[in-house]
Amino acid sequence: MIQVLVVDDHPVLREGVVSILAAEPGIRVLGELGTAEDALRRLQDSRPDVIVLDIRLPGMSGIDLCGVLRECHPRVRPVILTAFPGDTVLMEALAAGAKAFVLKESGPAVLREAVRAVAKGDIYVDARVTGKLVAIATRGRQAKGPYGLTVQEMRVVELLPKGMTNRDIGEQLGISEATVKTHLHNAMRKLQVGNRAQAVAVAQREGLA
């Protein structure tokens, strides 16, 4: 029996994931939680084989949770359930120890297949994410993203739709406000946009955020 924990801050989506998995023979849902912190507390008295989680969670992110699992609970295998992710998100999730990527718009069969695959020790990638991972791998150490964006420029662009100020972005990324301005200026030039709102529109349209 595959033991699964579901972590997502959207109750409707979370309940849908639970319903999909609970109806599958051989899979048992141990619980559903809204934050990474709640998941870590649950792990003190629960031993799931798989955690299905969203990348963007309040407080500790899904990527941060993957890192903690890798260090403290290595037998628990994370399945990332997300909207179409930007390149930086994919790179960071892989580095943190994610074992599967499933798009939220995918059918129930894809999610069930991903859970079964990682429970066996395999890696699973939604077919619509595979192309992005191949592109990332072929870019090599320079890690240039779409439009020639550097990793730091992509990280800044990914945060723009959240309505964060340059100071907020700097605090999130651990860089100065002046450095954020420089990255944002360079990113806007590469995206061929003239203002912040246009950069947000392009980032969302191209799956960069």
**Sequence ranges of the domains in the chain:** 2-138, 146-205
Identify the pLDDT of residue 117.
95
Structure-token match 């809204």, residue found: 34
Helix (H, G, I), strand (E, B) or coil at 23: coil
Quick count: other Cβ atoms within 10 Å of Cβ 54? 23
Helix (H, G, I), strand (E, B) or coil at 195: coil
Identify the pLDDT of residue 184.
93
Identify the pLDDT of residue 18.
96
Cα–Cα distance between 105 and 115 in angstroms, integer? 16
CATH 1.10.10.10 describes domain 146-205:
yes
Cα–Cα distance between 31 and 180 in angstroms, integer? 40
- What are the tokens at 179? 């450095």
What is residue 148's DSSP assignment?
A: G
Nearest residue to 56 (alpha-carbon basis) of 26, 13, 16, 23? 13
Q: Which residues of the chain have pLDDT under 70?
A: 84-88, 131-145, 209
Dihedral in degrees, nearest 10, Cα atoms 84, 88, 94, 95: -160
Structure-token match 């939680």, residue found: 33
Residues in the chain: 209
Residue 84 contacts residue 206 (beta carbons within 8 Å): no
Identify the pLDDT of residue 8.
94
Identify the pLDDT of residue 142.
45
pTM reported for the whole predicted model: 0.64
The CATH class, in words, for 2-138 is: alpha beta
Residue 54 contacts residue 81 (beta carbons within 8 Å): yes
